[in-house]
Amino acid sequence: MMIPFQTPQQVLVFKTNIKTKTEVQKLRQVLNKKAIIKWNIDFEDIDKVLRVITQTLTPAEIIDVITKKGVECVELE
């Protein structure tokens, strides 16, 4: 029996300027997708860090959907 190859999960980390629950609600619409396994925002961090766990999306794709919602988003290394 062959075991299908599975792409490993990756954790992508971004600096954002998220300040309000309204902004989080806007992001929830685009982040609650099948390609995103889990996501969270660290409001305690000065950079309002967004962490995204995915197997298929690239940082550029995530930045694109976040910035289209009016939120600044830059990948952290």
Question: What pLDDT sits at residue 10?
Answer: 93
Question: Hey, where are the domains in the chain?
Answer: 10-75
Residue 60 CB neighbour total at 10 angstroms:
8
Q: For the chain, what is the mean pLDDT? A: 90
Instruction: Kindly state the percentage of the chain with pLDDT values over 70.
Output: 92
Q: How confident is the model at residue 1 (pLDDT cuts 50, 70, 90)?
A: low
CA distance to 1, 4, 44, 65, 68, per residue, from 52 (Å):
33, 24, 17, 13, 17
The CATH architecture of the domain made up of 10-75 is: 2-Layer Sandwich (3.30)
Question: What pLDDT sits at residue 26?
Answer: 87
Q: What is the pTM of this model?
A: 0.86
Q: How confident is the model at residue 20 (pLDDT cuts 50, 70, 90)?
A: confident
What is the C-alpha to C-alpha distance for residues 46 and 64, in angstroms, rounded to an integer?
22
Q: Pick from 58, 59, 73, 60: which is nearest to 27 by CA?
A: 73
Q: Pick from 56, 50, 51, 47: which is nearest to 9 by CA?
A: 56
